[in-house]
Structure 1
């Protein structure tokens, strides 16, 4: 029997969304500056991919990502994440941290601002550790 392979769900100039056979969504950010409409489309499609399969977890690969802008952080905190949690079932985010220190700081601010939701983010340097947490007990 052939091993299951991941499927590309969505791609634009800011990133890719994969449906992983182990039962989670993978969001890969591309390097460089972002444009608002494309950024929002990427995250909206990520939430929709989780709903499609009734998955609750996402591996967020920020290693090549530029820092979030204040506008992006505000939208993610006030609009996107509450909707992803409440309407799409998002519960666990394993984040592969950015190489850019300012992108790391922006992600930390986002995590702190979203602590009131029934959602957990954990950050990782190592992808194997991130996947073990995302797909392990409690997933």
Structure 2
């Protein structure tokens, strides 16, 4: 007969889950690395466009500023000092939803470009953007 007196039956065994956690972390890392490289292929049939109707070019105002602070709008040339009044007169015939694009020389001070931008916004134009070579 065996002697069971040396075994304590009230003792609870300790579970070592460290290897399980290690394996799960490795699997998670593998999943995170491989998921962005998976490419799904979807067959999409795009609708045919109409070849008879052309896209309507919306009117646009392009403002160019050279390194000497000369401001060109379409075929007109304005001085920097009088630009606010001149642009208000020039833009009175345009719809305020017209897109305005500003191209400035690389050597122009940032504050001068912001002054032009502020003048255009104060004239009521909502769609104003700066054009870069980026």
The normalised TM-score by structure 1 is 0.38
Structure whose residues are more often helix by fraction = 1
Decide which structure has the larger Cα Rg and report it: 2
The normalised TM-score by structure 2 is 0.39
Structure whose residues are more often strand by fraction = 1
